[in-house]
Amino acid sequence: MPGLYTVKVTCGGCANTSAPATVVVQSNDFTLNVNQPATTGLSAGDYVWSGNTSNNWHVASNWIVYNGSGVFGVASVIPDSTKNVFIRAYSGCASNLCNILSGNTGKCRNITIESSLTMNSVCYLEVARNWTNTIGTFNPGNGTVIFNGQKNVIGTIYTGGDAAGKQFYNVEIKSASNTSAGSNDGNKVNLEGNIRINNNFVLTSGYQFNVNSGSLMSVGGNFTHNVCEFNRGLGAVTLTGASKVIDGSAATYFRILNVTGSYTLNATHMYLWSNPAGDYGDLNIIAGGSLNASSNTIHIDGSWTNNGTFTAGTSTVIFEQGFDQYVKSGGSAFYNLTMNKSATPPYVTLTDPAWITNYGNFILGVVNYSGTGSLTFNDNATSNGGATNSFVDGPVIKKGNENFLFPVGDVTAIVPWQPHVWAPLNINNASGTATDQFTCQYYFVAAPNNYNAWNICNYGIDLHHVSGVEYWNLDRNAGTSVPWVTLYYKNATRSGIQNPTGLVVAHWENCPASGTTRWVSKGGTHITDVAGVAGHVTNTIAFPNFSPVTFGTIQNNNTLPVSLISYEGHCLADEVVLQWSTASETNNAQFVVERSIDAVNWQVLGSVAGAGNSNVVMNYSFTDPAPMSGVNYYRLSQTDFSGKRDTIGVVEASCGQMNASVSYFPNPFTSEITVQMNNLTTGKAVLTIFDAIGQKVYSRQLSSDDIERRSVTVDLNNLSPGVYTVEFRSDDFFSTDKIVRE
């Protein structure tokens, strides 16, 4: 009947509410409008947080359950791993924010956070499938979120970013693993969006943890990979903790790893893997960061950039895969360094000084340098000496008093079908000291002044000639020790060695007989490594100092094939005459002459028959009867009887001036030399002089007055006796010649 009543309503989780109300009863019923959560996204049986009596996840009356038809009821039990959970705000309800209290473990199938969820102290939340926190706030406390999906299930973590309210404290992937090897029926967990884990991340079990769409991970504690395939996607993992570890019973994989904190590698193997396109696979130790590799192995496909501190311990770093890699050591040494790329080229390029303290192992791949790059083997460090397609293309430094095999070689375009020339050199420095230092570099080019009798000490008695295809530059940078030197050849045909017993070690030094610097025989003991293919020779006479060294032959029974002595182009009337000379030839069928106006596109002009095999100087010429206007480039190639062709020289010529020429007298000279210039029309020119090992020792800009006078005298009294190459270059004329200082 009509009257004043007190209405007490309990409504799907709103707190008990008592209030006086006037109720008009008609037809024995009435309607009471109450507030309830939105039903968007809900299915029958889903749990929605109400906070009816407290903030405790583990009190059943704090949850309401949706029946799928717009009606909620108070839960009788808390959610388990089969239930979907929504932390959803709505007016008048959920005034108590959801908390998982210390020591407790919350469970759910999927969780969607739209208001606030807090984990207190040490507690746990197990999620069997999806985590979605795109609009809500998650306060992780010191809690651990465990993703523990079952077989044939895919779970996804939608983090909503890595700002405050989206971060985790501990995360563990503890999902069902595959039933058997190759079954792929275990649980997958996908990461969508950046994730920040302020403490530990553990891959305990499961089939896959997939980092998708370049998502970034930040971990402030330990990174542990025990079981579960970790697919890095294209994203980076950044480790920010202090005195933490990279651990695990399984090999640990990263696409990009950034270390900004201090970490020790406890996992036996850590891989920095690139994608199939060769991108990523990088390790970056950021300024202030540190990585201690302990005794473990790091496999790296990408670049190594250290702006912090790398402590090698007794670890091994292996450079792998068939992509270019760049290394910035940042002043931190490697203990063991291995080159084991899947192909070569490309190369590993050192961009600053690097050191090896124990062992360098060259299996496949070439090391080269850029910028201030260099490679030093410290005292007691050794190497395997390299391999056919694995060596250092540049100088190698060795400190200490060990027997050391320099892993040197050269990447060259001279032999395009075999661009890698491996040529180790050994020093036996057992009598030296720990502070001794030597530097060695190999060149697959003619040894300077290799075939001229003038440059041979005791010509025809101790030495006939030296190699015309290769030499080593061996320098002693510190100490006074005089180690024995062993030169290796790996391809007798390439090195022009027919009679190994006639080989000696030849050194560029003062010749006692003449008092000038010449090639001097240091004797030789030859040992065959592979009959007819490879061997090595060790000097028997001590070196007085160290400088260029190469193979020499006592008799003229090792061709040690030489490069061109000279190659020049001159204008004669309206023609260009090309002239060149060789000191010896091996298996040379013919020379081919090509012309270009841009040094890019070439036209074959003709050929000249070679001498086949020769050990005497041969002179050749070829005439272009109709050169193009302006500058003409002429490329000279050598073709052997098998049809293989090598480019051996390029010159340029222009017939803008008639009979232009440059000559030098007297030659040989004692202190001064006169440069005679004929029919030059240019207003300027540069005169440059190089020593026997190709170092520039003199350069002078010639003025228009010098050219008009047609001659200029140059004071070269500061040059040591020897043979030099002089290069004359103007806008429309170029020539090279040999001059001799007595």
Report which of 285, 368, 353 is spatially closest to residue 319, judged by C-alpha positions. 368
Specify the CATH number of the domain 564-654.
2.60.40.10
Report which of 268, 306, 274, 269 is spatially closest to residue 288, judged by C-alpha positions. 306
For the chain, the distance separating the N- and C-terminal CA atoms, rounded to the nearest angstrom, is: 136
Specify the CATH number of the domain 661-741.
2.60.40.1930
**Other beta carbons less than 10 A from residue 658's beta carbon:** 12
Distance of CA 493 to the CA centre of its chain: 33
| pLDDT (0 to 100) of residue 442 | 97
Based on DSSP, count helices (H) and strands (E) in the chain, helices before strands: 2, 70
Extract the tokens encoding 140.
């992780």
| pLDDT (0 to 100) of residue 215 | 86
- The DSSP secondary-structure symbol of 515 reads T
Q: Which residues contact 197 (CB under 8 A, 6 or more apart)?
A: 167, 168, 169, 170, 171, 217, 218, 219, 220, 221
Distance of CA 735 to the CA centre of its chain: 40
Specify whether the CB–CB gap between 149 and 128 falls below 8 A.
Answer: yes
Burial class (CB in 10 A: 0-12, 13-18, 19+), 275: middle
Specify whether the CB–CB gap between 83 and 109 falls below 8 A.
Answer: yes
| pLDDT (0 to 100) of residue 18 | 38
Q: List, by residue range, all CATH 2.60.40.10 domains of the chain.
A: 564-654
Task: Return d(Cα 212, Cα 653) in angstroms, integer.
Answer: 60
Residues of the chain with pLDDT under 70: 1-35, 91-95, 177-186, 213, 276-278, 344-345, 413-418, 451-452, 556-566, 583-584, 586-587, 615-617, 642, 644, 646, 656-660, 681-683, 692-694, 731-732
Task: Return d(Cα 593, Cα 725) in angstroms, integer.
Answer: 24
Report which of 737, 630, 740 is spatially closest to residue 687, judged by C-alpha positions. 737
Specify whether the CB–CB gap between 285 and 259 falls below 8 A.
Answer: yes
Using DSSP's 3-state secondary structure scheme, residue 493 falls into helix
| pLDDT (0 to 100) of residue 162 | 94
Does 276 sit behind a cis peptide bond, omega within 30 degrees of 0 on the bond before it? no
Q: How far is CA 735 from CA 381, 433, 580, 596, in A?
A: 47, 48, 12, 18
Report which of 605, 482, 484, 489 is spatially closest to residue 544, judged by C-alpha positions. 482
Residues in the chain, how many?
742
| pLDDT (0 to 100) of residue 586 | 67
Amino acid at 252: T
Task: Return d(Cα 62, Cα 82) in angstroms, integer.
Answer: 18
pTM across the whole model: 0.74
| pLDDT (0 to 100) of residue 261 | 98
Q: Which residues contact 78 (CB under 8 A, 6 or more apart)?
A: 57, 58, 59, 60, 63, 106
- The DSSP secondary-structure symbol of 196 reads E
| pLDDT (0 to 100) of residue 509 | 95
